[in-house]
Structure 1
């Protein structure tokens, strides 16, 4: 199986193709086509080493794809927004990324559907620098706020949280800080005053003592406090045409992913870390730090892969308040086309 980290130039090319597709309201063929259910599937992940997307790599490592007779090519992009463009451009069959992209894309004439919902909370934290002078979201005005990339879910959530505190987008500076080492460096050298990130980055900052968590959306309580309800996030989503044409393949993917969710819920961070590539721990401050990062976030994952319907409504409510593509269009969005529980409920009954 290949592991692909695409260059910035390649990502730009994908984005350009996606823009042209959306502008023309066209539908490109998926990477796998044909009448029969394919056994080879390509999936782009918005950061394979991020704990929020842990089920992707872990499912492969545990051999659950192979158990289902699938050969899955996992590819990686540092940003969920870039992963989304690869799907829209027809370069991959599916994406492991945030559910909110399915709503955003529907307003652009694309039908994208979450088929396995890994988590009903974002798994994100807003971290502030020790000397940033930020004690609450009310202090974000005038600050430099880090996100992974423009149009990413961290961008969406940052706009919402700042707006909820009364800060419009021109009242602060948005900085593309990425994740991991680039995010940590930006926080340490003053490139950002605060930013939204995930584990293992959050765990590394905690251990280094260079920042503190302002908002913790790795738990249901923290998510409700920050966003007014649950916010389904990490998921496996695919083009609706692929889902309709290849239900057998999608069911096998659901079987594999739900089995992994059960594994996560029944094993410790150390046990899970032992299954993952060694370089994930090496890039996260070592095995103990990586295991601690998994333990800090693994409670975000549900055990069934089933979407929380009320949570989906809350995602739409949040996006409709600031996302220019969704604002004013909430009433026209058909949430039933943005996710399905058909496959995961069949796993639960088996």
Structure 2
């Protein structure tokens, strides 16, 4: 028997044992009551590329886990770069170019982007500072050999678009496929190609070495908007409309974690990046990574929302390139949804 402030509490042996058992079992029951994390596999096009850094950091910083998800990031094979090849890759949730979502609509398999990660293609068109005279512009590339990552890739499409904006036709130049970055740098250095349309880390390495003269730069918002006439949608998370409607909580968790990562990246300093960014992003040179990050940082999305004009500008560019795609019936507004990013934006005050 115990007394507290004049109140007499009588304990029976049975009552004491039941009380002790409930106290012992309570933590175990609480642990069992926690819902299991939902497994999600995301297939990523270019896992070690800067546009997907928000996705990678969301996993490394535990943001997916806190959203109740157990995420696996699976790289898409490097050889799959064309829209046709990427459309055939069996991904439930896809991280990569927004062009794929547009293409999926065009072939009758509606997909939607639900969180935007990057607002620029991250491609640069430049000429050799060794083998081409200074002062030449895009219009002077008639007859030149231009190195690209491959036929049908973003690299080729950006190069074609730059040429068209300068009044040239894609047939005015000769495109040379250079699938490996080391091969691309060697080709420019040797004069095998006079120009290159490529991404990082190759471009920044060549710039720092003083052998690349930049003519068009889509690593920056200004360069991207000058080329496309406004904002464009690039790296994003997307899935089929059927999956999005069937699993809204999973999609919301993914969007929330990525937007939280975008917010984290806004104020991240060099020491933060060195602590959390995977070594694969460093390409064996941490100072090079920081240089690449500083040059491209502004191209990362702010809050995961897709601007209305961004989707339309991508579709207009693809249409003007006259790709063998039937765009009839494709409404850009149906190729993305902002409802999940909007909730994430409110949650993290993005």
Partner of 1:342 in structure 2? 339
Partner of 1:332 in structure 2? 329
Partner of 1:72 in structure 2? 71
Paired residues of 1:305 and 1:344 also in contact (CA < 8 A) = yes
Partner of 2:167 in structure 1? 166
Against the structure 1 CA distance between its residues 229 and 200, is the aligned structure 2 distance closer, same or farther, given a 3 Å change threshold? Answer: same
Paired residues of 1:52 and 1:198 also in contact (CA < 8 A) = no
Aligned pairs (5 A) from 1:244-255:
244-255=245-256
Partner of 2:22 in structure 1? none
Paired residues of 1:269 and 1:295 also in contact (CA < 8 A) = no
What secondary structure does 1:320 align onto?
helix
Paired residues of 1:117 and 1:235 also in contact (CA < 8 A) = yes
Against the structure 1 CA distance between its residues 198 and 317, is the aligned structure 2 distance closer, same or farther, given a 3 Å change threshold? Answer: same
Matches of 2:198 and 2:274, distance apart in 1: 20
- Give the drift of 1:179: 5.4
Matches of 1:268 and 1:323, distance apart in 2: 43
Against the structure 1 CA distance between its residues 107 and 305, is the aligned structure 2 distance closer, same or farther, given a 3 Å change threshold? Answer: same
Matches of 2:148 and 2:37, distance apart in 1: 36
- Give the drift of 1:255: 0.8
Paired residues of 2:114 and 2:238 also in contact (CA < 8 A) = yes
What secondary structure does 2:276 align onto?
coil
Matches of 2:229 and 2:67, distance apart in 1: 38
Against the structure 1 CA distance between its residues 294 and 180, is the aligned structure 2 distance closer, same or farther, given a 3 Å change threshold? Answer: farther
Against the structure 1 CA distance between its residues 159 and 86, is the aligned structure 2 distance closer, same or farther, given a 3 Å change threshold? Answer: closer
Write out per-residue CA displacement over residues 203-249 of structure 1, whole angstroms, 9 at most, x where no aligned residue.
Answer: 21222222122112222221122222112111112222222221111
Matches of 2:312 and 2:183, distance apart in 1: 34
What secondary structure does 1:295 align onto?
helix
Partner of 2:149 in structure 1? 148
Matches of 1:224 and 1:280, distance apart in 2: 26
Write out per-residue CA displacement over residues 93-128 of structure 1, whole angstroms, 9 at most, x where no aligned residue.
Answer: 222211122223322222121111112222322222
Paired residues of 1:128 and 1:212 also in contact (CA < 8 A) = yes
With normalisation by structure 1, the TM-score equals 0.80
Partner of 2:110 in structure 1? 111
- Give the drift of 1:348: 1.3
Partner of 2:132 in structure 1? 132
Paired residues of 1:55 and 1:257 also in contact (CA < 8 A) = yes
Paired residues of 1:108 and 1:325 also in contact (CA < 8 A) = no
Gaps of 5+ in 2: 1-35
Against the structure 1 CA distance between its residues 295 and 185, is the aligned structure 2 distance closer, same or farther, given a 3 Å change threshold? Answer: same
Paired residues of 1:80 and 1:97 also in contact (CA < 8 A) = no
Against the structure 1 CA distance between its residues 166 and 83, is the aligned structure 2 distance closer, same or farther, given a 3 Å change threshold? Answer: closer
What secondary structure does 2:343 align onto?
helix
Against the structure 1 CA distance between its residues 176 and 234, is the aligned structure 2 distance closer, same or farther, given a 3 Å change threshold? Answer: same
- Which stretch shows the higher mean deviation, 77-86 or 164-173? 77-86
Matches of 2:203 and 2:64, distance apart in 1: 30
Against the structure 1 CA distance between its residues 100 and 316, is the aligned structure 2 distance closer, same or farther, given a 3 Å change threshold? Answer: same
Matches of 1:222 and 1:322, distance apart in 2: 19
Instruction: Select the structure of larger CA radius of gyration.
Output: 2
Gaps of 5+ in 1: 1-36
- Give the drift of 1:71: 2.0
Partner of 1:218 in structure 2? 219
What secondary structure does 2:224 align onto?
helix
Paired residues of 2:123 and 2:158 also in contact (CA < 8 A) = no
Write out per-residue CA displacement over residues 10-30 of structure 1, whole angstroms, 9 at most, x where no aligned residue.
Answer: xxxxxxxxxxxxxxxxxxxxx
Partner of 2:198 in structure 1? 197
What secondary structure does 1:237 align onto?
strand
Against the structure 1 CA distance between its residues 232 and 71, is the aligned structure 2 distance closer, same or farther, given a 3 Å change threshold? Answer: same
Paired residues of 2:150 and 2:179 also in contact (CA < 8 A) = yes
Against the structure 1 CA distance between its residues 84 and 255, is the aligned structure 2 distance closer, same or farther, given a 3 Å change threshold? Answer: farther
Against the structure 1 CA distance between its residues 201 and 63, is the aligned structure 2 distance closer, same or farther, given a 3 Å change threshold? Answer: farther
Write out per-residue CA displacement over residues 156-200 of structure 1, whole angstroms, 9 at most, x where no aligned residue.
Answer: 222222122233232212222235323322322334322222333
